[in-house]
Amino acid sequence: MNHSFYSADRMTHLKIVIVALVAAIGVAGFSISARLSDNGLTQTARATGPAIKANKAVVLTSSDQSAIR
Backbone angles phi, psi at 58, to 5 degrees: -115, 130
Mean pLDDT of the chain, nearest integer: 78
DSSP letter for each residue of 6-62: TT--HHHHHHHHHHHHHHHHHHHHHHHHHHHTTTT--------S------S-----S
Average pLDDT over residues 43-65: 74
Give the pLDDT confidence of 29-40 residue by residue, as tens digits: 998 887 655 555
